[in-house]
Each structure stands twice: as C-alpha cells, then as structure tokens.
Amino acid sequence: MISSQNLNYDVPAPKSGLLALPIKFYKRVRSLPMSGQIGVLILIFVLGTALIGPLLVPHDPVSQSLINRNKGFSAEHWFGTDAFGRDVFSRLVVGTRHTILLTSSALLLSAGLGILIGLVAAYNRSNWVDSLICWTMDILLTFPMVIMGVVVVAILGQGTLNVGIAIAVAFLPRMVRMSRGVALTLVTSEFVEAARAIGASPSRIVIRHLLPNVMIEMSSISTLWLATAIKTETSLSFLGLGVQPPTPSWGLMVREGLSTLYINAWPSLLPVIAIFITIIGLNLVVDGTQDSLNPHTKDH
Amino acid sequence: MNKTTDNKRTGHNRRDVLGYGIAGLIATAGLSLGSKATAQLAGTLRIGLNARDMGVLHPHVATGGADVSIIASVFSGLVRYEPTRVNITAIQPDLAEKWEMSDDFMTHTFYLRKGAQWQKGYGEVTSADVAFSLSNVRDNEQSTFRPLYGNIDTVETPDAYTVVIHLKKADPTFVTAMANWQGGFVICKKASDEMGDRYRTEPVGSGPFQFDSYTPQDNVIVTAHADYYGGTPKLERVVYSYVPDETSRRFAFVQQELDIIQGASNQDWLAEVIKSTPGNPTVDLLGPERSVNLHMKATEEPLGNPLVRQAIAHAINRDDFEQYYGPVFKGTHSSIPPSYFGGLKTEDIPEELKYSFDPEKSRALLAEAGLPDGFEISTVVSERGDYLALAQIVQERLAGVGITLKLDILDHGSWVAAIIKEKRGTLVWSISSRYPSAEYLMREFFLCGARVSQPGGVQGFAEYCNEEFDEAYAEAIASADPEVRAAGFAKAQITALTDLPVVPLGAMSTPVLRQDYVDLGYEIADGEDVTSLPYLYHVTPATTV
C-alpha cells in the first residue's frame, strides 16, 4: 500500500554541484530492472534525436530532387530517398522532432488542464460540481481516442497546432478521471485534514497539498500515455489530418510512402519502425518503474 | 493491492507489446505471402476505379472520372464514337439511325431508330426523350456542360422518331455534342419525372448495362440490359469497385481480383504492376490527353498582378513533372494539348509566351511587382495522388523563389465542392480531358461566361475575362473551314498566354490496365493510340472475360 505521505517524495536535493542531478538520475535508472534501463536508453536516444538531430541532418528534409527519386540506401542518402527525391533520413530525424514535440506538448497541456479540473472535482466530491465534471468526462470518454481527434480536427481545421489541441482534448477526460481518482485518496488523508484544521483556504489546500502529490503520480501515467499520444498523432497524420506537407512527421511519412510501397518500401517502413521502437521504449520504462516500486516484484 | 498500479495496468504492458509485435509479424507475413490468386469470374467484369465513392450518376452533371465511366455503360447517345477513337470521323449511328445538317449549319435533324428500349420497362426511346434531355442539360444550373448546349435555340419533334434542332449560331461540328458523352447522353423523361432526385443515383438509360445496386464507398453493380437494341450483352454484370488507394488497387489487380483498373499516373508504378501480375496484362495510355493546368485566381491578391502570375509561371519547371510521372506526362506550353484539334504546338508559341523555367527571371518579376521577398499564399488541393504530387512539386519550386504555398488538403469530393460551389482556391490544379478539339476546354476555362463567380459559370477558376479571347473563339466555332477554326483557336490561345490566367503545365494520358483474359470485344492493335472519353475502356455488349 502506498500511503499518501510517502507519495510526497520531496527529498531535498543534495547541494553538491552540477553533477548532483545526473548522478541522482543515474542511480534511479540503475535501480530499474534491465528492461527498464534499455527503455531509458531508447528514450534518451529518441529525445536526443528530437532535440539536436535536426541540427545535424545532412539534407534539407523538404528539398526535392526529382531526378533522384526512390533511391536505395547510399553514402549520400543513408536511408535512401522518397518519391519526390527527398532524403528519408533527414525527414525521419526532423519528423521525430515534430512528432515528439507535438505529442508531448499536447500531453502537457492536457495534463495541466486535466489535473486542475480533476482536483476541483475531487475537492468538491460531495456536491454538483463533481457530478457535472464526472458526467461530462464520462460522455467524452465514450469516444475512442482517434475518433475524438478526428472530430476536433474537423471542427478546428487541419494543421499542426490544431492536431496538438485535438490530442490534448482527446486526453483531457482521461487526465481528469485519473487525477480525480488520485486526489480522492488524498483529500481524506490526515495531512489534508490537518491543513483544513489550521484554517488553510481551499485553494491553498488544492495547490500546496494536493497538487504536488497528484503531479508525481500523473507524471508516470503521462509517460505511458505518451505512447498512445504518438499513436494518435501518427494516425491523424496518416489520415491526412495532421501535419501538412511538406513538413515531415512520422504518420505523414507512412502515408506518403504508401503509393510507392511496392517500388520502395523504406520511406513508409522506417517511420513505422521508429514508432515501434519509441512505443516499446516508453512501455519498458513504465513497466520497469512499476516493478521497481512494487514491493512484490522489487527484489526479484 | 496497489490501486494506482492497477490503473496503469489498464494501459499497456509487456504482454500487450509482445502481442502487438506478434500481430505485426503475422500481418507482414500475410502481406508478403498473399492469398491464392482468384481467377476470373465467368460473366462478371470487375473494374477498380480510382475514387473513394460515387458522386452522381446523372450524365448531365457528373464530372468525376469514376462516375463517367459507369455512366458510359448505362446511357447511350444519338450517335457514338466507335471504340478506341474519339474523332468526328469515328462517329457512328447509335440511337439515331441517320442525321443530316442544313447548308447553313443552323439546323440538325436526327432520325431515331425504332424499338430502342429504356431499361427497367420504361418503354421506347422517343424524340420526346431527346427533346427533354437537351433542355435538361441546356437549362440545368448544375451542369458544367451547358455552355455547349446553350447554342440550341429550339428543338422540334415532328414525330416520335424525328428530332430537329435549331441553333442560335452556325455550328458545323454540332453532331459531336450529340455523341455518347456528357450532355450527349439521352436521359429518360418518364423515369426522370417519376423518380425525381433518385434518378441522379439510380439512373435509367438505354445503354447495354442497367443500374443494379450501389453500396456506399464499396461498389456500383450494373447488369446486362436484355432488351438492348445492340443485342444482349455477353457479360452478366459489371462490378465497379471504389479503390481509391493506389497500393490496394495494385494488390487487387496483381491477385487478379480485379480485371480492369484505372492505373496511377506513374511510370514506375505501372511497370511494377505489369511485372508482378501473372499472365500477360496490358497497360494502355488512353487519350484524349488530360490537359494539366494551374489556374491563378485573379481576384485574389497578389495574383491580380500579371507580373506575379508570370513570376509563378517562370518558377515552375515542367521537367519535374516529366521526371515524376514518366512518359505518361508531356510538358506543354498551351492549355490546349497539341494533340487536340486547334492546340498550339510548342514551336508555334513565341518564346516569351512559353514561360520557361527561369527562377532568376521569376525573382526579378516579383521584385518588379513590389514583392522582392516573395509572399505567402494558401489554397485547397485534392488528396488524390496525381493532384497532390503536382501541388507538392509546384510548392517546392515556388519556395525556391520565395513564395510560400500552404496546402489545405481535402478529399477529392470535398475539393471539387470547394473550388466549384464554394469558389475557394487561389491556385487550382486541373487535370481534364475533353473531346479533342480546342473549343471544349476553352469554353469551360477561359470564356468570360465560364468564371466560377458568374451565375452560369463553370470552371473558370482563374476568373479570367478578355473580350478578345471570346471574339477569337466565336470566330473559330462559327466556321466550317478547319483552317479558319484552327486560326481562331490559335489567336485565342495567344491571347490567353499573353494574359496568363492559367499556367499550362502539360498533357497526361490516362493509364488503364487489363488482364490478358479480358476481351474488350474490339481490337486494339499494338502501339495503337487508344482514345476513350470515359477515362476507361468502353464496355460493350461484346465484352467478355
């Protein structure tokens, strides 16, 4: 049983200089099972690609060279070229940035809003505010993620920003439900009772006492949902509703490569592999973290 | 037990991931091995169309390349083009046994064959149907073909088998307007009156095949019309399937689940399909060539400035398209393909009106227009491969001279509605084939009355209007002398190139593939230029599989 108190890992950071944080991170990673460590490595690789990859790519990802269409792997074009003669490696790397940045910022937006609404609902658990929020979110939850995304894009129009909003909206009910659930276990706990007893205002209780605890729990669930968000973004882009050409994104690359699937499969296949590896990485990290926290499996 | 951990477990875990992996492997294996090829189905011809869904099957309003191919087997006209040729010399009797024209080309008389039956028991085809049909297309606000029939003054029906058409202006080639294409298809008055709007999607015609069923986004099935005047068709039915995805269409053809498909306009694709399909399949590059154009809407700034339009024209490299599409595409410098009657040959166009690829000149023109840093413009484009590739290639070239083009990609049906009904689209790509004579494309794209914003407008996406053009066109079509007609068409084209409402990009043939066991019922000689208006082979009563 994880008690509410030990959820609050507010350990003061050791004041031993710049290396403290990386060392702490390293120790945490080492405490994970092997699969989790591999997952972390994969994620570092993917995030690193997203952050600095676009600065290092050998070619402009949108620049066409129609004379070099559908070329195979070569020293000039590491992953070959697509139907427009664009460098697939460069597109894949730059596409990583679009896909990862878009999905993680959408998820952050969704988590920010969702946690706030969830906390308000949990704090007002016995009155109509909670019922209203829960009912609304339950209705929204009945829509599958991609359908919800399609509906939002249909209303707002296509484009990168709107896809971000669509993903955020699609995740909102899940965020609200989850954060409300976590917060509900906290509102009745002793430290909240104590805060209330010394006369803390509702907003202070929500922000100072509930929020930090809920955040920790939500951050790990959000990592897992990032995998779903990536799938949603690539699905929307695949359907032609996401990032618009010529900007590369994984889903769009899969779609664009389909017409030449039997002539040159790599432009479609490589982003699929990238999506696959990223999602595996995320799952390994989350599974590993769970195992290391779970008293039943921790020592095995 | 830990509640929050349980909640996480509802997401993914290693078992799920493993499951996905195995499912993926099985799917990949299935894809590569494929299922056993399905041989042809006796009595059934299966056609794969490059479209998502049926639009409308009324011949007087349908423009979609998939709709018209179905319409061509359901309806017939007073006269028809003998298959594999579309030319005034290939015109044969059909619903009309014979026809004659007055010496002043003002009166055209058609004598109908007796006993031609409408499908589904709607009785005999009479002159009343023809008169109804012509007024329907001439006065139909939704028909983009009505300019052609606007020249009809009155239609007389002295008896049930005679139709006398009086024109407003002389037209020696009027008989082509009565051929089996678009407004020339005769519709059934009784069925149209009885069915109302339903006639648009459940048509009743007098052709060899009758409409049987429609399954949305799946197929349209037509069955043999037993009372067809040209003899009962040998095929029992024809299944037109909607397969918008090129890869799916390729797969179904290679597996011989489809007998005929509309191909992708891409040489690599065609070569790969031919190589992978068992037997000895054939690809035909059908004419009349589709004229590929970029219309620039003059009412949208900065496209109103001729310098900007010239800058756009000089930024585009026609070689790009030739490289992308292969031999299917030929770069041209006039909107009327040179293979059409009246189409200007490249060598007959003055050098300065060819607007050849010259990015330096393009940038200079932009600077002269007061836009030295270029500009940003957005437009709508169809998701269909051939259109989207055109747009993306142009997008890249425009970026090279500082013009940022934003594309709003719509499915094909929505795009057609956006550019025609909603009049959206600053830059509009068109890929259109018509009867191969200049007046058809001119009438729909360049005449003042064609402007989309006009109450009777059709496809004048550039909002172009120049009286000189209209006059040259009128002179040309009034004459029976081919030389006078050609001279008038040439003058009109030079006027259009000077004003440059449209950048002519090229001419594209329509690739269609057939399995070796398909017998079309007519011979196509090796290397023969095949022309067929419906973007597909004509399915005739003699066609078999």
pLDDT at B359: 95
Interface check for A225 against chain B (CB to CB < 8 A): the answer is: yes
Contact B246 A64 (CB under 8 A): no
Instruction: Report the C-alpha gap between A219 and B190 in whole angstroms.
Output: 69
Give pLDDT tens digits for B472-522: 999 998 888 889 999 999 999 999 999 999 999 999 999 999 999 999 998
Burial (Cβ within 10 Å: 0-12, 13-18, ≥19) of residue A139? exposed
Instruction: Report the C-alpha gap between B336 and B341 in whole angstroms.
Output: 9
Q: Which residues share a beta bridge with B331?
A: B506
Burial (Cβ within 10 Å: 0-12, 13-18, ≥19) of residue B266? buried
Give pLDDT tens digits for B410-461: 888 788 888 988 888 999 999 988 888 899 899 889 999 889 888 877 789 9
Instruction: Report the C-alpha gap between B208 and B542 in whole angstroms.
Output: 10
Would you give the end-to-end CA distance of chain A in angstroms? 18
Contact B324 A63 (CB under 8 A): no
Average pLDDT over residues A155-179: 88
pLDDT at B9: 39
Interface check for A220 against chain B (CB to CB < 8 A): the answer is: yes
**Residue ranges of the alpha helices (H) in B226-356?**
246-254, 267-276, 306-315, 318-325
Give pLDDT tens digits for A242-265: 778 888 889 889 888 888 888 889
pLDDT at residue A212 is higher than 90: no
pLDDT at B30: 45
Nearest residue, CB atoms, B2 vs list A2, A181, A246 = A2
**How many residues can be counted in chain A?**
300
Interface check for A34 against chain B (CB to CB < 8 A): the answer is: no
Lowest mean pLDDT among A122-131, A200-209, A291-300: A291-300
pLDDT at A217: 79
Q: Say if residues A82 and A257 touch (Cβ distance below 8 Å).
A: yes
pLDDT at B91: 92
Tell me the residue type at A275: I
pLDDT at B20: 53
Largest CA distance in chain B: 99
Q: Which residues of A touch B13 (CB under 8 A)?
A: 283, 287
Chain B residue with the nearest C-alpha to that of A154? B410
pLDDT at residue A31 is higher than 70: yes
Burial (Cβ within 10 Å: 0-12, 13-18, ≥19) of residue B124? middle
Q: Is B7 helix (H, G, I), strand (E, B) or coil?
A: helix
Chain A residue with the nearest C-alpha to that of B382? A240
Closest CA to B144 of B362, B441, B524, B512: B441
Instruction: Report the C-alpha gap between A102 and B213 in whole angstroms.
Output: 45
Q: How many CB atoms lie within 10 A of CB B271?
A: 13
Per-residue exposure over B149-172, b if at least 16 CB sit within 10 Å of its own CB, e if not: bbbbeebebeeebbbbbebeebbb
| HEC profile of B191-258 | HHHHHHHHHHCCCCCCCCEEEEEEECCCEEEEEECCCCCCCCCCCCEEEEEECCCHHHHHHHHHCCCC
pLDDT band at B36 (very low <50, low <70, confident <90, very high): very low
pLDDT at residue A142 is higher than 50: yes
Q: Which residues of B touch A280 (CB under 8 A)?
A: 17
Task: Give the mean pLDDT of chain B.
Answer: 88
Give pLDDT tens digits for A70-81: 888 888 888 989
| Residue tagged 């050998």 (tokens) | A58
Q: Say if residues A5 and A186 touch (Cβ distance below 8 Å).
A: no
pLDDT at residue B371 is higher than 70: yes
Contact A283 B17 (CB under 8 A): yes
Q: How many CB atoms lie within 10 A of CB B230?
A: 17
Contact A84 B388 (CB under 8 A): no
The pair phi, psi for residue B237, each rounded to 5°, is: -155, 160
- Per DSSP, the residues of B425-487 read -SEEEEEE--SSBHHHHHHHHTSGGGBTTSTT--SBTT----HHHHHHHHHHHH---HHHHHH
In chain A, which among 136-155 make CB contacts under 8 A with chain B? Answer: none
Q: What ipTM did this prediction achieve?
A: 0.72
Beta strands in B29-184 (DSSP E): 44-49, 79-81, 91-93, 96-101, 107-112, 152-159, 162-167
In terms of phi and psi (left: phi > 0; alpha: psi -120 to 50; beta: otherwise), the region of A268 is alpha
Q: Is B369 helix (H, G, I), strand (E, B) or coil?
A: coil
pLDDT at A295: 63
- The distance of A15 to chain B (nearest Cα, Å) reads 32
Would you give the end-to-end CA distance of chain B in angstroms? 67
Burial (Cβ within 10 Å: 0-12, 13-18, ≥19) of residue A299? exposed
Q: Is the peptide bond before A22 cis (omega within 30 degrees of 0)?
A: no
Nearest residue, CB atoms, B4 vs list A182, A228, A244 = A182
Chain B residue with the nearest C-alpha to that of A39? B14
Interface check for A240 against chain B (CB to CB < 8 A): the answer is: yes
Q: Say if residues B381 and B428 touch (Cβ distance below 8 Å).
A: no
Dihedral of alpha carbons A188, A192, A198, A204, sign: negative
Strands B237-242 and B219-224: antiparallel
pLDDT at B519: 93
pLDDT at residue B72 is higher than 70: yes
Of the two residues B496 and A297, the one the predictor is more confident about is B496
Q: From chain B, which residues contact A within 8 Å (Cβ)?
A: 2-5, 7-8, 11-14, 16-17, 24, 245-247, 250, 264, 266, 268-269, 272-273, 276, 319-320, 323-324, 383, 385, 388-389, 392-393, 395-396, 399, 406-409, 411
Average pLDDT over residues A131-156: 88
Closest CA to B352 of B342, B363, B361: B361
Instruction: Report the C-alpha gap between B523 and A271 in whole angstroms.
Output: 47
pLDDT at B364: 96
pLDDT at B97: 95
Q: Which residues of A touch B406 (CB under 8 A)?
A: 244
Give pLDDT tens digits for B214-249: 999 999 999 999 999 999 999 999 999 999 888 899
Average pLDDT over residues A159-174: 88
pLDDT at residue A226 is higher than 90: no
Q: Which residues of A touch B264 (CB under 8 A)?
A: 259
Contact B11 A294 (CB under 8 A): no
Question: What does the domain layout of chain A look like in residue ranges?
Answer: 50-293
Q: How many CB atoms lie within 10 A of CB A78?
A: 15
Domains annotated for chain B, with CATH where assigned, are 80-188 (3.90.76.10), 288-509 (3.10.105.10)
How much of chain B, in percent, has pLDDT values that exceed 70? 93
pLDDT at B459: 87
Burial (Cβ within 10 Å: 0-12, 13-18, ≥19) of residue B199? middle
Domain A50-293: assigned CATH number: 1.10.3720.10
pLDDT at B7: 40
pLDDT at B308: 96
Give pLDDT tens digits for B257-300: 999 999 988 888 899 999 999 999 999 998 889 999 999 999 99
